[in-house]
């Protein structure tokens, strides 16, 4: 007899890549697929859903994360047509933590989801203070403190910075090919090494420096989590210990979908114990 295993899909549309994570039982990753971000949702390659259109692994729910409303609309349309499912989009009303940011709904949902992803993966961190550093098209930091999301930093990302050095005309060719972390040293002994030191190592030291500033102003230490496509490349460059999980956003998304925010869990657990 064939097994029957409905899956949930969390789908992130990024500036450079889309990442699809298929989940079983709302908790365990069944598979992860990536594709180059197509210019709109009607151009998603069919292969992204291979194996999940048969009866054994039907897709039951889709969560769609995108920081662009154009992409949200065009990818929603794709899933509606392809699966007859209207994807769930991020909504502040189901986010389990207060957002101390002005205004709260201006914070990128990718940042909020990654913070929630830390708590999904390490539930006891809901009691702690931590920062998520996302190394992607942008380098962002988002701080969680006293049970709230309290802000952080946004900078242009390493690929963007590499691309604009020298007005975009210099020396490096394809930034993707020139990110060679094993060769990054400071002082950089050539143009390439100097640019690598300035942009890649510089981005890492900037995150570390900002973290010290945040610890100073908050008066507590912050645990550091790295996420985003470049996290594996930058992790070895950090002086301070850090956790790495490339898919924090998806972990946050699956938690939001399960509707098991800490508050709700506490309430239902409390009811059970009555």
Ligand X SMILES: Nc1ncnc2c1ncn2[C@@H]1O[C@H](COP(=O)(O)OP(=O)(O)OP(=O)(O)O)[C@@H](O)[C@H]1O
Ligand Y SMILES: CC(C)(CO)[C@@H](O)C(=O)NCCC(=O)O
**16 a known binding residue?**
yes
The yes-or-no answer on residue 269 being catalytic is: no
Q: What is the dihedral of CA 85, 91, 149, 132, to 10 degrees?
A: 30
Preceding amide of 187 cis, omega within 30: yes
Locate all alpha helices (DSSP H) within the chain, ordered by sequence: 69-83, 109-121, 158-164, 175-178, 191-196, 202-218, 231-234, 248-258, 262-273
Give me 110's structure tokens: 């990718």
Query: Is residue 139 marked as binding?
Result: no
- Catalytic one of 50, 105, 110, 245: 110
Q: Does residue 136 interact with K ion by CB under 5 A?
A: yes
The response to whether 185 counts as a known ligand-binding position is no
- State the binding partner of 154 from ligand X, K ion, ligand Y, none, CB within 5 to 8 A by kind: ligand Y
Contacts 24+ apart (CB under 8 A), 39-45: 40/70, 40/71, 40/74, 41/71, 41/73, 41/74, 41/75, 41/76, 41/77, 41/78, 42/74, 42/77, 42/78, 44/18, 44/75, 44/78
Residue 60-89 contact track with ligand X, rule CB under 6 A, x = bound: ------------------------------
* CA-to-CA dists, residue 193 to 34, 160, 165, 175, 205, angstroms: 30, 17, 13, 13, 16
Cα four-point dihedral sign 230, 232, 236, 242: positive
Among 41, 87, 117, 229, binds ligand X (CB under 6 A): 229
Task: Pick the closer one to ligand X by CB: 7 or 233.
Answer: 233
- Number of residues located near ligand Y, criterion CB under 6 A: 9
The pair of three-digit structure tokens given for residue 76, joined into one six-digit string: 């929603």
Taking CB under 6 A as the criterion, the residue among 11, 14, 203, 251 binding ligand X is 14
Q: Is 252 near K ion (CB under 5 A)?
A: no
The 49-88 site mask, x for binding K ion (CB under 5 A), equals ----------------------------------------
Enumerate residues 157-186 that contact ligand X by CB under 6 A.
159, 176, 179
- Interacting stretch for ligand Y, rule CB under 6 A, among 39-47, 102-110, 121-129, 208-216? 102-110
Nearest CB to ligand Y, comparing residues 74 and 142: 142
What string marks each residue from 124 to 163 as x (binds ligand Y by CB under 6 A) or -?
Answer: --------------x-x-------------x---------
Taking CB within 5 to 8 Å according to partner kind, which of K ion, ligand X, ligand Y, none is near residue 108? ligand Y
Q: What is residue 172's three-state secondary structure?
A: coil
Q: Is 101 annotated as a binding residue?
A: yes
Cβ neighbours of 173 (radius 10 Å): 8
Active-site residues, by number, are 110
Binding residues for K(+), as ranges, are 134
């Amino acid at each position: 007899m064939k097994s029957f295993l409905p899956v949930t899909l969390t789908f992130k549309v990024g500036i450079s890549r889309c990442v699809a994570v298929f989940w079983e039982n709302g908790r365990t990753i069944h598979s992860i697929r990536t594709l180059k971000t197509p210019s709109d949702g009607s151009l998603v390659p069919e292969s992204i859903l291979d194996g999940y259109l048969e009866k054994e692994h039907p897709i039951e729910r889709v969560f769609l994360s995108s920081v662009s409303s154009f992409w949200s609309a065009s990818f929603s349309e794709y899933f509606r047509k392809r699966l007859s499912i209207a994807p769930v989009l991020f909504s502040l009303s189901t986010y389990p933590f207060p957002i101390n940011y002005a205004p709260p709904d201006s914070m990128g949902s990718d940042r909020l989801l990654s913070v929630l992803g830390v708590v999904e993966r390490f539930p006891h961190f809901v009691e702690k203070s931590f920062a998520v550093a996302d190394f992607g098209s942008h380098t962002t930091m988002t701080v969680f403190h006293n049970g709230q999301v309290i802000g952080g930093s946004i900078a242009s990302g390493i690929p963007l910075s590499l691309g604009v050095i020298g007005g975009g005309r210099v020396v490096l060719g394809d930034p993707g090919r020139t990110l060679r972390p094993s060769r990054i040293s400071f002082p950089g002994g050539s143009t390439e090494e100097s640019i690598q030191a300035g942009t890649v190592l510089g981005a890492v030291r900037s995150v570390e420096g900002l973290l010290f500033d945040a610890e100073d102003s908050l008066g507590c230490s912050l645990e550091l989590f790295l996420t985003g496509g470049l996290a594996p490349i930058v992790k070895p460059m950090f002086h301070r210990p850090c956790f790495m999980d490339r898919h924090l956003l998806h972990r946050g998304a699956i938690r939001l979908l399960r509707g098991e925010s800490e508050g709700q869990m506490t309430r239902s657990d409390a009811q059970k114990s009555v």
